[in-house]
Amino acid sequence: MLSPRKVKWRKPHRGRMTGTAQRGNTLAFGDCGIQALECGWVTSRQIEAARIAMTRKIKRGAKVWIRVFPHKAVTKTPAETRMGKGKGSPEYWVAVVRPGTILFEMAGAPDKQLQKDAMRLAQFKLPIKTSYIELDVKEV
């Protein structure tokens, strides 16, 4: 699972998820990708499940880039615990995703349809609405 080596705050606030992505909203490495259409938290387990689904489908025939990283710790208090006694301990890590964020990129697949199918499998593993996008290559 992905998790940061060191963080400034052990128990961060939940924060707001309004607005669109200002950075990380264009294809930078590959020729196709998965773009978020809504805001949400994507856990490190979901990122890993999507990555495994993609790489198994293409049989390691293409390069995959993960463009999001889980920086935020989500805390949880134990079940059947009374109110008070402070904030719970960190349980898992999430990446805050806003609309427009590129989550994954891929390049070098032997077949475009196989590449699209692999991305579709990865989209099923994610908790938010996403879309498949391709790089626009203009012939001059």
Estimate the crossing angle of helix 112-124 against helix 44-57, to 10 degrees: 150
Distance of CA 14 to the CA centre of its chain: 18
- pTM of this prediction exceeds 0.75: yes
Closest C-alpha among 69, 136, 55, 124 to residue 101: 69
pLDDT 10s digit of each residue in the chain, 140 long? 899 999 999 999 999 999 999 999 999 999 999 999 999 999 999 999 999 999 999 998 899 999 999 999 999 999 999 999 999 999 999 999 999 999 999 999 889 999 999 999 999 999 999 999 998 776 55
State residue 104 phi and psi, 5-degree precision. Answer: -135, 150
d(CA 47, CA 63): 16
